[in-house]
Chain A
Amino acid sequence: AQSVTQPDIHITVSEGASLELRCNYSYGATPYLFWYVQSPGQGLQLLLKYFSGDTLVQGIKGFEAEFKRSQSSFNLRKPSVHWSDAAEYFCAVGVNTGNQFYFGTGTSLTVIP
């Protein structure tokens, strides 16, 4: 069965520090992978996606993610975090049939000045 694991429930980083949010997935075929961000009281905003090709993908707001098939991972990174990046981050896997997404439980990011 498909599943997504985000092992870090909460992460705190200092503004200007680098960030890496972990995501591992379980899916039998080639996955469609996504990272979304959610601010309090808001919906989900797409940060970036991986469908195929180059395993390092660039997204909005300076985020990037690397797909590693051997590790079944799709970790999100940002070289320098801004206070406005504080939010909840969700990793998701899309399956081949339709648009059913499987989401991780999310990582809450706190940015301290």
Chain B
Amino acid sequence: KAGVTQTPRYLIKTRGQQVTLSCSPISGHRSVSWYQQTPGQGLQFLFEYFSETQRNKGNFPGRFSGRQFSNSRSEMNVSTLELGDSALYLCASSLDPGEKEQFFGPGTRLTVL
């Protein structure tokens, strides 16, 4: 069974631009969560989606948004990029929110210049 896939793997943007990252969960998994990983702040929860609905959201500004499609694939969007948004963005999937065991993708490395 294929693991969690994230595209693109690497991305370079400039300040003020916007970016969309994609995540395809493991087949059959319906819950998708997003995390931001930076050297200074570590791993921080962004949001969680299940059945196309956002269930939880971390403490991030409104520039960070996401959505989930009917096939459970998820996208996250960051608008008006700032230098501090440079990070590894990790997506994790699980069967459902009650499953608790999450499987992580390889991440998308975003660099903002």
A residues bordering B, Cβ < 8 Å? 32, 34, 36, 41-46, 49, 51, 90, 92, 94, 97-106
A interface SS class:
strand
Contacting pair A36 B104 (CB below 8 A): yes
> Quick check: B100 and A99 within 8 Å, CB to CB?
yes
Lowest 8 CB-CB distances: which A-B pairs, in order?
Answer: A103-B43, A44-B104, A43-B104, A43-B106, A98-B56, A98-B97, A105-B42, A100-B56
Residues of A within 8 A of B8 (CB): none
Q: Are A100 and B45 in contact (CB under 8 A)?
A: yes
**A51 to B50 alpha-carbon distance, docked (Å):** 22
Q: Which residue of B lies closest to A32 (CB)?
A: B100
Distance in Å from the Cβ of A4 to the closest Cβ of chain B?
Answer: 10
CB distance from A26 to the nearest CB of B (A): 16
Q: Could you tell me how many residues of chain B have their Cβ less than 8 Å away from some Cβ of chain A?
A: 27
Q: Can you report 22 residue pairs joining A to B where beta carbons are below 8 Å apart?
A: A42-B107, A43-B4, A43-B105, A44-B104, A46-B103, A49-B100, A49-B101, A51-B100, A92-B43, A94-B100, A98-B50, A99-B31, A99-B92, A99-B97, A99-B102, A100-B33, A100-B48, A100-B56, A101-B33, A101-B45, A104-B42, A106-B43
Chain B residues lying within 8 Å of A32, measured Cβ to Cβ, are 100
Contacts of B26 in A (CB 8 A): none
> For the complex, is B55 an interface residue (Cβ under 8 Å from A)?
yes
Please indicate which of the listed interface residues B33, B58, B102 has the most CB atoms of chain A within 10 Å of its own CB.
B102
CB distance from B48 to the nearest CB of A (A): 5
**Given known contacts A43-B4, A44-B90, A51-B100, is B45 in contact with A102 (CB within 8 Å)?**
yes
Q: Identify which of A32, A34, A43 gathers the most chain B CB atoms within 10 Å of its CB.
A: A43
Inside 8 A of B48's CB, which chain A residues have their CB?
98-100
What CA separation (Å) do A43 and B4 show in the bound complex? 10
Q: Does B94 contact A (CB under 8 A)?
A: yes
Collect the chain A residues with CB atoms within 8 Å of residue B105's CB.
43
Chain A, Cβ-Cβ closest to B31: A99
A14 to chain B, nearest CB (A): 27
Q: CB-nearest residue of chain A relative to B94? A: A99
